[in-house]
Amino acid sequence: MTESPAPNRWPDDDVILYDGVCVFCSRWVRFVAARDAKRRFRFTAIQSGYGTRLAQAFSINPEDPDTNAVIHGGVAYFKSDGALTVLSNLPEWEWVRALRLVPKPLRDAVYNLVARNRYRIFGKYGECFVPDEAMRARVLE
């Protein structure tokens, strides 16, 4: 599991940074929100003021993001580590912890392939995805 260095800690916890104009990324957020019974995770689009600051703190280009990020336990996780961290903290998805046995370079190669082609395969919104009323309280802007 890759942890960010100590200077890259973030004061808010259980925050998922995502590309708000990416259809796949927005569906990921809805998937997590629907299964997060404890309402543990909060979300921020990289295009929001808060999301841009978070991205810049972790050297993610807000204009061309190549990874999602999740802050969990005060530590930032990226790419496949980020996705597995989120999934493994959802009810009935704890089994994904076993996927950490797959070598990280292989997991991240698959992640990178999807990330590079996400707009072409899944599409892109003209503007940031707007969550419904029930989810809005969990969005940091």
Q: Which residues contact 43 (CB under 8 A, 6 or more apart)?
A: 15, 16, 18, 29, 32, 33, 131, 135, 138, 139, 140
Note the pLDDT of residue 79: 95
Note the pLDDT of residue 8: 55
- Strands of the sheet containing 42-45, edge to edge, are 42-45, 15-18, 69-72, 75-78
Spans of the chain, pLDDT less than 70:
1-9
Note the pLDDT of residue 134: 76
Q: From CA 125, how far away is CA 139, in angstroms rounded?
A: 18
Note the pLDDT of residue 6: 44
Domain ranges of the chain: 9-136
Question: Model pTM?
Answer: 0.86
Q: From CA 74, how far away is CA 13, in angstroms rounded?
A: 6
The pair of structure tokens assigned to 104 is 């990280």
